[in-house]
Amino acid sequence: MTEVIFNEDGQPVLRGARDPQSGEYYFPFRPLTADGTLRACEETLLSTEGILYTWTRFAGRFYGQIDLPEAVRIQTELGDGPHDIGATYRLTADRTDDKIDWRFERVWRCFRDFGRCGAGA
Amino acid sequence: MSGDVFVISGGAVPVHNKYPLGSGRVVARDAGLAALRDAGVNYADMDALYCGVAMPTSPAAVLVGKEFGLTGIPVVQVSNASASGLAAIHAAVDAMQAGRADLVLVIGYDVPTNLDNPIAAQGYLPPPALFGMWAQRRMYDHGTTPETLARIAAKNINYARDIPFASRRPDQPVSAEDVLASRPVADPLTALMCTQWVYGAAAIVLATRRGLDRLPQAPAIVARIEATEFQSEVIGPHHIIEGAIVGPADISRTATEAALRRAGRGRDEIDCVQIHDAFAIEELVYYETLGFAPEGGADALVAQGAFGPGSRARFGLPEFSTDGGLIGRGHPGGPTGVFQAIETLRRFRTTDDQVGLCHMLGAGSTCLAQVYGRVAL
């Protein structure tokens, strides 16, 4: 099941699903709604930026949960730190052969992040 | 609950990671023999064998059954990740209340044939990372400190010192400072706040009232399974659908409430709780989720010594993880829920405890809650 695809601009996007009746979103994509009524979901592309809900470091890697505007929570690897709950994170991905490695990386915006400027500034 | 079902005996082998890979049949057999002997019965007296097995390369239940005899009884394998043991008990109770069996051997066992990580193989993130994240969010929301988690872990490890088959049995009592000083795992979790990767087996014999009449001698004290509740997750906001080993906390609340309702018991009647405490953050949150502390209020109770020895007398609250739980006694997978039943029976036979609660999650997506009551025959 492909969780992340690249759009026509070459940017990574999350492949999700939407319940056309309730408007509820899901990740990853699922063909049927989660309420057990066997209704079909619409395939949809989810937001690529969200807010860090929590994070930790284990065995040299960072992991976090990102809340997207669609009320979907993504469990994922994070890029390098520092990390702060409440900060904004963006989806990034690398494509090698037939494999896509994706993660969320912190977005630094000068006016918000005390002078650190970088991606997203 | 229609048709009483009792836990009449228990048996186990030590919990550790030194069993030779592929030795699951022997390990399960030894635990089963211990439970049968404790009940004074033979395998030939059993009407069914139920096995709780979590790891995919542990031996099949039908092969384990052959270790005891080839007697024609149904052999049922139940797999629900970490909740496999309680799920096997749940399935056995269903069969017994349906009139299909009066004496049942339930064995939880897990010894794999290789060192492959079954969790990673299913695409899940490493469990310590997931529970580390849970702890971080708790700290953010409620100001929980690593010291609070350390107190819970120390309590459980010190309980385990009195349990012969526990995986952690330090020679000296462990302090919260010792827990904090142990190897960092996933901030804020340290090694002693986490369960270990271990193997083992535990077994119990269940009996209906007709089954009790078949025993050469019924034991003086047994544990009646007053309720067993089995639920799975319900979709909700910000629901992590795939790989959610942590899982929604709400499922623990609803399953426990349903079990208490079915048993006709109130929380104030619960004397001991065997909880899914694979990581110390779980036990802390479950104090509140299961209704024994207000949201955000468990930390203060832990600081005063609640939920440990003497908790009932001092706080009117049950003791949690009295055999050390998953942190102290260990979490060998399938056996864990059966260990919880064994510990509940032990508490009924050696303390004043009258009512016990057992709780386990399976891959964060299923939850079993069982209420046990002490019965003097």
The ipTM, to two decimals, is 0.91
State whether A24 and B235 contact (CB < 8 Å): yes
- Pick from A75, A101, A104 the residue to mutate for testing the B interface (most B CBs within 10 Å): A75
Token pair belonging to A63: 């992991």
> Is the torsion defined by CA of A36, A76, B58, B17 positive or negative?
negative
- Of the pLDDT bands very low, low, confident and very high (cuts 50, 70, 90), residue B119 is confident
pLDDT above 50 for A120: no
Q: Which residue of A has its CA nearest to B131?
A: A56
| Cβ proximity of A32 and A45 under 8 Å | no
State whether A53 and B237 contact (CB < 8 Å): no
Q: Is residue A116 a part of any domain in this protein?
A: no
Interface check B240 vs A, CB under 8 A: yes
How many distinct structural domains can be found in chain B?
1
State whether B241 and A34 contact (CB < 8 Å): yes
- Of the pLDDT bands very low, low, confident and very high (cuts 50, 70, 90), residue B246 is confident
Token pair belonging to B303: 């600081």
- Pick from A26, A30, A35, A56 the residue to mutate for testing the B interface (most B CBs within 10 Å): A56
Q: Is residue B55 a part of any domain in this protein?
A: yes
Q: Which residue of B has its CA nearest to A76?
A: B125
Interface check B191 vs A, CB under 8 A: no
A13, A18, A44, A76 from A28: Cα distances, Å: 12, 10, 10, 12
DSSP letter at B82 equals B
User: In chain B, what residues touch A72 (CB-CB under 8 Å)?
Assistant: 238
Range of the domain at B31: 6-114+197-214
User: In chain A, what residues touch B189 (CB-CB under 8 Å)?
Assistant: 56
State whether B238 and A53 contact (CB < 8 Å): yes
Q: Is residue B62 a part of any domain in this protein?
A: yes
User: In chain B, what residues touch A2 (CB-CB under 8 Å)?
Assistant: none
pLDDT above 60 for A115: no
Predicted confidence (pLDDT) per residue in B184-205, tens digit = 999 999 999 999 989 999 999 9
Q: Is residue A26 a part of any domain in this protein?
A: yes
Average pLDDT on B367-376 reads 98
Q: Is residue A31 a part of any domain in this protein?
A: yes
User: In chain B, what residues touch A56 (CB-CB under 8 Å)?
Assistant: 129, 132-133, 135-136, 186-187, 189
Q: Which residue of B has its CA nearest to A53?
A: B137
pLDDT above 70 for B362: yes
Q: Is residue A53 a part of any domain in this protein?
A: yes
pLDDT above 50 for B1: no
pLDDT above 50 for B373: yes
Which pLDDT score is estimated for A106?
Answer: 97
Q: Is residue B133 a part of any domain in this protein?
A: no
How many distinct structural domains can be found in chain A?
1
User: In chain B, what residues touch A54 (CB-CB under 8 Å)?
Assistant: 133-134, 136-137, 140
State whether A73 and B132 contact (CB < 8 Å): no
Amino acid at B74: P
- Compare CB distances from B129 to A53, A56, A67 and report the shortest one's residue: A56
- The domain that holds B62 is classified in CATH as 3.40.47.10
Interface check B133 vs A, CB under 8 A: yes
Q: Is residue A34 a part of any domain in this protein?
A: yes
Range of the domain at A69: 4-106
Q: Is residue A113 a part of any domain in this protein?
A: no
Which pLDDT score is estimated for B10?
Answer: 98
Of B352, B372, B350, B189, the residue nearest B274 (C-alpha): B372
pLDDT above 80 for A113: no
Residue B203 makes CB contacts below 8 A (sequence gap 6+) with B10, B11, B12, B28, B31, B32, B34, B35, B36, B105, B106, B107, B108, B338
Q: How close A99 gets to chain B, by Cα (Å)? A: 14
pLDDT above 90 for B96: yes
Angle A113-A118-A119 from CA coordinates, rounded to 5°: 110
- Compare CB distances from B133 to A24, A64, A71 and report the shortest one's residue: A64
- Of the pLDDT bands very low, low, confident and very high (cuts 50, 70, 90), residue A84 is very high
Predicted confidence (pLDDT) per residue in B60-74, tens digit = 999 999 999 999 999
Average pLDDT, rounded, for chain B: 96
User: In chain A, what residues touch B130 (CB-CB under 8 Å)?
Assistant: 63, 75
- Pick from A24, A57, A58 the residue to mutate for testing the B interface (most B CBs within 10 Å): A58
State whether B240 and A75 contact (CB < 8 Å): yes
User: In chain A, what residues touch B139 (CB-CB under 8 Å)?
Assistant: none
Q: Which residue of B has its CA nearest to A58?
A: B186
Q: Is residue B140 a part of any domain in this protein?
A: no
- Pick from B119, B137, B285 the residue to mutate for testing the A interface (most A CBs within 10 Å): B137
Helix (H, G, I), strand (E, B) or coil at B8: strand
**Measured distance CA(A120)–CA(B11) in Å, rounded:** 61
**Measured distance CA(B353)–CA(B349) in Å, rounded:** 8
- The domain that holds A60 is classified in CATH as 2.40.50
Which pLDDT score is estimated for B117?
Answer: 82
Q: List the B6-12 sheet strands across, edge first.
A: B75-78, B48-52, B103-110, B200-207, B6-12, B221-232, B366-376, B355-362, B272-274, B319-320
Q: How close B207 gets to chain A, by Cα (Å)? A: 37
State whether B129 and A63 contact (CB < 8 Å): yes
Q: Is residue A42 a part of any domain in this protein?
A: yes
Q: Is residue B289 a part of any domain in this protein?
A: no
Q: Is residue A115 a part of any domain in this protein?
A: no
What's the pTM value of the predicted model, to 2 decimals? 0.95
State whether A65 and B133 contact (CB < 8 Å): yes
Interface check B241 vs A, CB under 8 A: yes
Interface check B238 vs A, CB under 8 A: yes
Q: How close A120 gets to chain B, by Cα (Å)? A: 25
**Measured distance CA(B169)–CA(B158) in Å, rounded:** 8
